[in-house]
Amino acid sequence: MNRTRVKICGLTRREDVQTAVDAGADALGFVFYPASPRYVSAHKASELMAEMPPFVTSVGLFVNADIDDIAAVVETTHLSLLQFHGDESPEWCAEAAAATNRPFIRVFRVKPDTTADDLLQYERIYRNASPYFKGLLLDTWTDAYGGAGKVFNWSLVSKEIGPRVVLSGGLSAQNVAGAVSELRPFAVDVSSGVEAAKGIKDAEKIRAFIRAVRQAGEPI
Ligand SMILES: O=C(O)c1ccccc1NCC(=O)[C@H](O)[C@H](O)COP(=O)(O)O
C-alpha cells in the first residue's frame, strides 16, 4: 500500500514550517495570490524555504497570475512545483510551466453539479496539454479561490482517479482518516484545518493531522 503524502498549505511563519517538517510533511505550500490572507512575498517565501530540508517539496500557489510574475517568484525562491488555483487554461499552464521549467498541478474546484466523469475529462485534457502536468488537486468550489475549509462530495472521486489525486477542501485531523480509508488518494492537502487563525498554523493540529493520515494508511 502506498503511503499517502501530506501537503500543508498556506505557511507564513518559520515556526510553522519547522513544525510541519518535523511532523513529517511531504510538501509545503506558499500562497503567491496577493488577495489571500496567507499571501507571502517571494522574498519572505525564500526565507521560509531556506528552513526546508531536501526531499520536502516546496509548492507555489498562483491564481490567474502573469507568467512573468511566476518566473520572478521561481527565480527568487527556486520552488519545486507550481499549483494553479484559478481559471488557468491547459494551454496557459503548459506555457507557464515550460517558461519556468517547473512541473505543475492543476486545481479542480468541485461544484455541486460536478460529475465523476468531469474529473476524468479535466485530468485527461491537462495531461494531454503538457508533459509538466503532474496531477489534479481537488478542492471545493466557493466564491473565493481556496483555503475555505469546505468539504465536497467525496463520492465523486472514482476508484479510477482516486489514487492519482491530491485531495483537499475542509480536511482536518477529525475527518482525514475517513478520506484516506475511503479514497486512498495519492496525497492530502490542508490549510484551514490546521490553523489557529488565517495564515497562523497550530502546531498540535498539524501533528494530529499527520498522525491521523499515517494511522489511516497502516494495514489493518
Ligand atoms: O489559502 C488561500 O488563501 C488560498 C487563496 C487562493 C487560492 C488558494 C488558496 N489556498 C489553497 C489551499 O490552501 C489548499 O490547496 C486547499 O484549498 C486547502 O484548503 P482548506 O480547505 O483550507 O484546507
- Mean of the per-residue pLDDT values of the chain: 95
Has 93 been annotated as catalytic?
no
The average pLDDT across 33-44 equals 97
Amino acid at 74: V
Under CATH, domain 5-217 is a member of which superfamily? Aldolase class I (3.20.20.70)
Task: Reply yes or no on whether the pLDDT at 99 is more than 80.
Answer: yes
- Does residue 161's CB lie within 6 angstroms of at least one atom of ligand 1? no
**How many whole angstroms from 101 Cα to the centroid of ligand 1?**
24
Q: Is 205 a pocket residue for ligand 1 (Cβ < 6 Å)?
A: no
| Identity of the residue numbered 61 | L
Surface-to-core class of residue 141, CB atoms within 10 Å of its CB (0-12 exposed, 13-18 middle, 19+ buried): middle
Judge whether residue 220 has pLDDT over 60. Answer: no
Is 90 exceeded by the pLDDT of residue 14? yes
180 CA distance to ligand 1 middle (Å): 19
Residue whose CA is closest, atom 2 of ligand 1? 147
pLDDT of residue 93: 98
Report whether 135 contacts 113 (CB < 8 A). Answer: no
Confirm if 98 and 133 have CB atoms less than 8 A apart.
no
Q: Is 118 a known active-site residue?
A: no
Catalytic: which of 16, 26, 93, 139?
Answer: 139
Q: Is the pLDDT of residue 51 over 90?
A: no
Regarding the beta carbon of 102 and ligand 1, being less than 6 Å apart is answered no
d(CA 185, CA 168): 10
Residue 191 Cβ < 6 Å to ligand 1: yes
**pLDDT 10s digits, 120-167:** 999 999 999 999 999 999 999 998 887 678 999 999 999 999 999 999
Contact between 19 and 204 under an 8 Å Cβ cutoff? The reply is: no
State whether residue 89 is helix, strand or coil. Answer: coil
Distance, in Å, from the CA atom of 194 to the CA atom of 205, rounded to the nearest integer, reads 5
